[in-house]
Structure 1
Amino acid sequence: MLDAVIIGGGHNGLVAAFYLARAGMKVRVVEARGVVGGAAVTEEFAPGFRNSVASYTVSLLRPKIVADMDLPAHGYRVVSRDLANFLPLPGSNHLKVGGGLARTQAEFARFSAADAAALPAYYAALEAVADVLRHLALTTPPNAGGGLRALLAMAAQGRGAARLGIEAQRDVLALFTQSARQFLDGWFESAPVKAAFGFDAVVGNYASPDTPGSAYVLLHHVFGEVNGVKGAWGHAVGGMGAITQAMAAACTDAGVEIVLDAPVARVLTSGGRATGVRLVSGEEIAAKIVVANVTPKLLFEKLVDPADLTPAFRRRIAGTRYGSGSFRMNVALRELPDFTTLPGPGEHHRSGIIIAPSLDYMDRAFTDARAHGWSREPIVEMTIPSTVDPGLAPPGMHVASLFAQQFAPVLPDGRSWDDERAAAADSIIDTVTKAAPNFRASIIASTALSPPDLERKFGLTGGDIFHGSMGMDQLWSARPVLGNASYRAPVRGLYLCGAGSHPGGGVTGAPGHNAAHEILADRRWWRARWPS
Structure 2
Amino acid sequence: MLALAPKSAVETRDAIIIGGGHNGLVCAAYLAEAGLKVTVLEQRDVVGGAAVTEEFHPGFRNSVASYTVSLLNPKVIADLDLHHYGLKIVERKVSNFLPLDDGYLLAGEGLTHDQVAKFSKADAAKLDAFNTRLDAIADTLRQLVLETPPNLREGGWLSALPELIKVAGLGGRLSGMPMGTKRDLLDLFSKSAGDWLDGWFDSEPIKALLGFDSVVGNYASPYTPGSAYVLLHHVFGEVNGKKGSWGHAIGGMGAITQAMARCCEDRGVDIRTGCRVAEVLTDNGSATGIVLESGEVLHGRAVVSNLNPKLLFGSLVDNDALPDDFNDRIARYRCGSGTFRMNVALSELPRFSCLPEPGDHLTAGIIIAPSLAYMEQAYSDARRHGWSREPIIEMLIPSTLDDTLAPEGQHVASLFCQHVAPVLPNGDSWDDHRDTVADLMIDTVEKWAPGFKASVLGREVLSPLDLERTFGLVGGDIFHGALSLDQLFSARPVLGHADHRSPLKRLYQCGSGTHPGGGVTGAPGHNAAREILKDVRARRI
1:466 counterpart residue number = 479
Give the distance between the partners of 2:285 and 2:491, measured in 1 at CA. 23
> Could you tell me how far apart the structure 2 residues matched to 1:157 and 1:296 are?
26
| Distance in 2 separating the partners of 1:280 and 1:372 | 38
Match of 2:106 among 96, 103, 117: 96
Q: Is the counterpart of residue 107 in structure 1 residue 115 in structure 2?
A: yes
Name the % identity.
Answer: 62
Matching of residue 139 in structure 1 with residue 152 in structure 2: no
Which residue is equivalent to 2:232? 219
Q: Which moved more, 1:140-149 or 1:173-182?
A: 140-149
Q: Does 1:63 align with 2:74?
A: yes
* Per-residue deviation, residues 265-295 of structure 1 (Å, max 9, x unmatched): 0001111111110000000001001000000
Deviation, structure 1 residue 320:
0.8
In the other structure, the counterpart of 2:174 is 161
**Secondary structure of the structure 2 residue equivalent to 1:382:** strand
Judge conservation of contact 2:93–2:361 (CA < 8 Å) in 1: no
| Alpha carbons 1:376, 1:424 under 8 Å: kept | no
Residue 74 (1) aligns with residue 74 (2): no
Matching of residue 34 in structure 1 with residue 36 in structure 2: no
Checking the alignment, whether the CA contact within 8 Å between 1:7 and 1:31 is kept in structure 2 is yes
Q: Is the 8 A contact 2:94 2:361 kept in 1?
A: yes
Which residue is 2:377 aligned to? 364
Q: Counterpart of 2:84 in 1: which secondary structure? A: helix
TM-score computed with the length of structure 1 as normaliser:
0.98
Whole-Å Cα distance in 1 between the matches of residues 91 and 173 of structure 2? 29
User: Which residue in 2 is equivalent to 1:513?
Assistant: 526
Confirm or deny: 8 A CA contact 2:149 2:498 kept in the other structure: yes
Query: What is the aligned counterpart of 2:469 among 456, 466, 474?
Result: 456
In structure 1, runs of 5+ residues without a counterpart are: none
- For residues 438-468 of structure 1, the C-alpha deviation after alignment (integer angstroms, 9 at most, x for no partner) is 1100000001100000000001111100000
Show the counterpart of 2:509.
Answer: 496
- Structure 2: distance between partners of 1:160 and 1:57: 32
Taking the aligned partners of 1:149 and 1:452, their CA distance within structure 2 comes to 42
Specify the code of the residue in structure 1 equivalent to 2:289.
Answer: G
C-alpha deviations, 1:309-363, integer Å up to 9, x for none? 1111100000111000000000000000100000110001100000000000000
Instruction: Give the Cα separation in 2 of the matches to 1:155 and 1:252.
Output: 40
* Alignment correspondent of 2:138: 130
Verify the 8 A CA contact 1:78 1:226 in the aligned structure 2: yes
Kindly indicate whether residue 444 of structure 2 is the aligned counterpart of residue 434 of structure 1: no
Does the CA-based 8 Å contact 2:363-2:400 persist in structure 1? yes
The runs of 5 or more residues in structure 2 that have no matched partner are 1-11, 154-158
- Correspondence 1:119 to 2:111: no
Instruction: Count the aligned residue pairs.
Output: 525
> Which residue number corresponds to residue 302 of structure 1?
315
Contact 1:379 1:404 in 2 (8 A): yes
Q: C-alpha separation between the residues in 2 aligned to 1:186 and 1:162?
A: 25
**Cα shift at 1:161:** 2.6
Q: What is the TM-score when the length of structure 2 is the normalising length?
A: 0.96
1:44 corresponds to: 55
**Is 2:191 the partner of 1:208?**
no
Provide the C-alpha distance between the structure 2 equivalents of 1:68 and 1:123, rounded to a whole number of angstroms: 30
Q: For 2:176, give the aligned amino acid.
A: R
Q: Deviations over 1:108-162 (max 9, x none)?
A: 1111111100000110011100011011000000001261111111121233332
Offset of residue 163 of structure 1:
1.8
Which residue pairs with 1:524 in the alignment? Answer: 537
1:231 and 2:244 matched: yes
Distance 2:13 2:353 in 1: 59
Matched residue, 2:491: 478
Cα distance in structure 2, aligned partners of 1:346 and 1:420 = 35
Residues 453-510 of structure 1, C-alpha deviations (whole Å, 9 max, x = no match): 0000001111100000000000000000101100001000000000000000000000
1:72 shift after superposition: 0.3
Query: Which amino acid counterpart does residue 149 of structure 1 have in structure 2?
Result: P
**Counterpart Cα distance in 2 of 1:169 and 1:81:** 32
1: distance between equivalents of 2:112 and 2:523?
A: 31
Secondary structure (helix, strand or coil) at the match of 1:526 reads coil
The residue identity in structure 2 corresponding to 1:274 is: A
What is the CA-CA distance between 1:391 and the residue it aligns to?
Answer: 1.3
Deviates most, 8-17 or 147-156: 147-156
Quick one: distance in 2 between partners of 1:112 and 1:322?
A: 38
